[in-house]
Structure 1
Amino acid sequence: MYEWRTGRNCHFKNNAHLVFVTKYRRGVFTKEMLDRTKEIMEETCKQMNCELLEFGGENNHIHMMISIHPKVAVSNLVSKLKGKSSYMLRREYWDRIKTMLWGNHFWSPSYCVVSCGGASLDVVKQYIKNQNTPPSEKAIRTSKSLKKI
């Protein structure tokens, strides 16, 4: 469903589901604010060589699925996403938020991140378990000696 991405020396599909909650779980978001938040998140992801795949939210939290480049730490991405969006949303929608949120905080300091991919953990475990085991040194020597005959 989601395409593989390529870097200079790698192919990757590092998709993460992120959830951010507003400070005090206040119902701050309007439809327009969610639309603007999506724009900010897309722009920030591009700046960090990541890609926003999905976005949705309610009045007090947002959900995103992001394809994260292997060189980017999830914690750094979260920091940039929260920092920039907090700054921009407080600047652009201050009249709406000032009565609901106070101080310099928009987001709760915590977040949820869940890796997501095309296969379940059981399928991946089974795939790894069923890899062809290389032959032993003894089997290689026996094979070489049989070829000489």
Structure 2
Amino acid sequence: MVFVTKFRHKVFTDRHLTRMEAIMRDVCADFEAELVQFNGEDNHVHLLVNFPPKVAVARLVNSLKGVSSRRLRQEFPDLARHYYRANKLWSGSYFAGSAGGAPLNAVQQYIEQQNRPG
């Protein structure tokens, strides 16, 4: 899955991404899913999630984006300036693809190689 920030604003530093990974891991656990790999850059994040077929992708995405946006806003008041339109951190869109055919380690390596900000 890939989520981008509203208007592709450059928002995240390493400390934001570190906290976001923990938040998203907890959300995945609530859905009986596993966050296998996480990384991001200053304006988007990549997630490799293993989840059961009973979980609707849209519900999982909605929860991941909603909970992370709310918690980051509470814990990092400095992010408030990025919420200026409609109080949203994330763009309304997302990318979700199936990795069943690709070797899992190739997907994990791609995510690891993101240019994470300092």
Q: 1:98 and 1:80 mapped to 2: Cα distance?
A: 20
Structure in which a larger fraction of residues adopt strand: 1
Distance in structure 2 (CA, Å) of the matches to 1:70 and 1:82: 20
Counting aligned pairs with the same residue, the percent is 45
What is the TM-score when the length of structure 2 is the normalising length? Answer: 0.82
- Give the drift of 1:101: 2.6
Runs of 4+ residues over 6 Å off in structure 1: none
TM-score, scaled relative to structure 1: 0.65
Deviation at 1:61, TM superposition (A): 0.3
Cα deviation, 1:70-106, whole Å, max 9, x if unaligned, reads 1100000001101100100111112x21223314201
Aligned partner of 2:56 among 73, 86, 90: 73
From the superposition, tell whether residues 110 and 119 of structure 1 become closer, same or farther in structure 2 (CA, over 3 Å). Answer: closer
> Is 1:116 matched with 2:104?
no
- Going from structure 1 to structure 2, the CA distance change for 1:99 and 1:46 (only over 3 Å counts) comes to same
Larger Rg: 1
Are 1:101 and 2:83 counterparts?
A: yes
What 5-or-longer segments of structure 1 have no aligned partner?
1-17, 121-149
Decide whether aligned partners of structure 1 residues 105 and 119 sit closer, same or farther in structure 2, where only a CA change above 3 A counts. Answer: closer
Structure 2 residues without counterparts, runs of 5 or longer = 104-118
Mark the CA change 1:69 to 1:29 in structure 2 (over 3 Å): closer, same or farther. same
Higher relative contact order structure (alpha carbons within 8 Å, sequence separation ≥ 6): 2
